[in-house]
């Protein structure tokens, strides 16, 4: 049943191109304005969108800040984010305007954990360097000293952020004989620690004891530059760093300096501070594997994200609390 103060067929503006099935379903259910060019919208275009819509469906490439929301029509009551992270949305400003924010949790866990594990394997084993060597036609045959890396079996993985993705990474690590220590805002129950073979540690201990560090916490004001020069100084010269979370969790300059100076052995990165721009110093480093923010990029994951967006909008239309409402900042 439709809520009397909410249109049965709301106008929604979708800021990026989604999968065909999701867009088709949105057109069936809503008055949908789609971005089939799949280019990031300019600020002026976002301002025009929020001034004439009931629902905005943004992605991580859209900055939804207080200045933008000041241009919004009173009819804008729902921001149904296509993605899990909401650090690009000013939640306080949304609360002040009584705009509900939703996201798409849970459906990207396995995909992001898979990509994290791929980097955990590829950086110590120098897969990126080996692939470049082959494509450059520079391989001169097998030799005992060729392309030596480090085995991961028996190593210690330090996971920063033991939410859904962090726990999924720990499960995968078990299959490779990797031991896990972790840091989280709240320690996990002993039964979960036992299931994952994981041991809790403070951050400094984790950085000093880990052979590989994986960042899997969200970006919040509290985690901004959580990984700074001081923390990186605890890492050993033969240890590796992996980030599939958000670039802003890391002081990128400090990380680059540690890599350039050989104070850590290498890094696997899927996220950066100024996406899509990547610091050119990273591009020059042989001891890095760099990916274009593709941790969740699977057909299955994108379809599931779209389904969650649609479910959140339909619940809102029916006058219910959307199942994936972001409650941070709300009383």
Task: Let me know whether 82 and 172 are in one domain.
Answer: no
Is residue 4's pLDDT more than 70?
no
**CATH of residue 214:** 3.40.50.720
Which residues neighbour 267 within 8 Å (Cβ) at sequence distance 6 or greater? 123, 240, 241, 242, 243, 255, 259, 287, 288, 289
328 pLDDT tier (thresholds 50, 70, 90):
confident
Whether residues 102 and 116 fall in one domain: no
Asked if residue 210 and residue 128 are part of one domain, the reply reads yes
Per the prediction, the chain carries an average pLDDT of 96
Count how many domains the chain has.
2
Q: Give Cα separations from 27 to 14, 67, 76, 173 (angstroms).
A: 11, 29, 19, 42
128 and 95 in a common domain = no
Q: State whether 151 and 269 are in the same domain.
A: yes
Strands 240-243 and 266-269: parallel
**Judgement on whether residues 91 and 178 belong to the same structural domain of the protein:** no
Is 326 among the domain residues?
Answer: no
CA 274 – CA 26 distance, rounded (Å): 31
Q: Give ∠ CA 292-184-208 in degrees, rounded to 5.
A: 80
Q: What is the pLDDT of residue 2?
A: 58
pLDDT tens track for 241-286:
999 999 999 999 999 999 999 999 999 999 999 999 999 999 999 9
**330 within a domain of the structure (yes/no):** no
Q: Extract the runs of DSSP E, i.e. beta strands, from 81-178.
A: 100-102, 156-160
95 Cβ neighbours under 8 A, 6+ residues apart: 329, 330
Do 177 and 88 fall within a single domain?
Answer: no
pLDDT digits (tens, 9 = 90+) for 204-229: 999 999 999 999 999 999 999 999 99
User: Is pLDDT of 103 > 90?
Assistant: yes
Are 131 and 273 found together in one domain?
A: yes
Which residues does residue 256 pair with via DSSP β-bridges, in sequence order?
none
Cα torsion for 322, 217, 110, 180, to the nearest 10°? -140
d(CA 117, CA 120): 5
Query: Is there a contact between 271 and 92 (Cβ–Cβ < 8 Å)?
Result: no
Structural domain harbouring 24: 11-107+298-317
Q: Return the residue matching tokens 């899509």.
A: 276
H-helix or E-strand containing 316?
helix 299-317
Cα distances (angstroms) measured from residue 61 to each of 140, 276, 293: 43, 9, 12
pLDDT in tens, 154-168: 999 999 999 999 999
Same domain as 103, residue 60: yes
Q: What residue ranges in 111-172 does DSSP mark as E strands?
A: 156-160
Q: Which two tokens stand for residue 198?
A: 């994981």
Q: So which residues are the catalytic ones?
A: 246, 275, 293
> Would you say residue 63 lies in a domain?
yes
- Looking at residue 331, its pLDDT comes to 36
Looking at the domain assignment, is residue 324 inside a domain? Answer: no
């Amino acid at each position: 049943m439709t809520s009397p103060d909410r249109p049965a067929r709301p106008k929604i503006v979708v800021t990026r191109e989604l999968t065909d099935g999701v867009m088709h379903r949105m057109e069936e259910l809503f008055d949908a304005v789609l971005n089939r060019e799949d280019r990031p919208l300019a600020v002026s275009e976002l301002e025009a969108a929020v001034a004439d819509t009931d629902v905005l469906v943004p992605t991580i490439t859209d900055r939804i800040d207080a200045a933008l929301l000041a241009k919004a029509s009173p009819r804008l009551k729902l921001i149904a984010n296509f993605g899990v992270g909401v650090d690009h949305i000013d939640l306080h400003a949304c609360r002040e305007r009584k705009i509900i924010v939703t996201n798409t949790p849970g459906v990207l866990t396995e995909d992001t954990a898979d990509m994290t594990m791929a980097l955990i394997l590829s950086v110590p084993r120098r897969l990126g360097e080996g692939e470049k060597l082959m494509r450059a036609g520079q391989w001169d045959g097998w030799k005992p000293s060729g392309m030596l890396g480090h085995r991961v079996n028996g190593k210690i993985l330090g996971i920063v952020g033991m939410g859904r993705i962090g726990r999924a990474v720990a499960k995968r690590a078990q299959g490779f004989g990797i031991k896990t220590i972790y840091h989280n805002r709240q320690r996990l129950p002993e039964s979960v620690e036992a299931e994952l073979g994981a041991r809790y540690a403070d951050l400094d201990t984790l950085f000093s004891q880990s052979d590989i560090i994986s960042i899997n916490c969200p970006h919040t004001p509290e985690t901004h530059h959580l990984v700074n020069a001081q923390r990186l100084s605890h890492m050993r010269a033969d240890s590796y760093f992996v980030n599939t979370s958000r670039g802003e969790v890391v002081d990128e300059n400090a990380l680059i300096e540690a890599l350039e100076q050989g104070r850590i052995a290498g890094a696997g990165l899927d996220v950066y501070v100024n996406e899509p721009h990547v610091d050119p110093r990273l591009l020059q480093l042989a001891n890095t594997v760099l990916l274009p923010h593709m941790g969740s990029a699977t057909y299955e994951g994108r379809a599931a994200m779209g389904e969650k967006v649609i479910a959140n909008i339909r619940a809102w239309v029916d006058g219910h609390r959307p199942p994936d409402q972001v409650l941070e900042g709300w009383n």
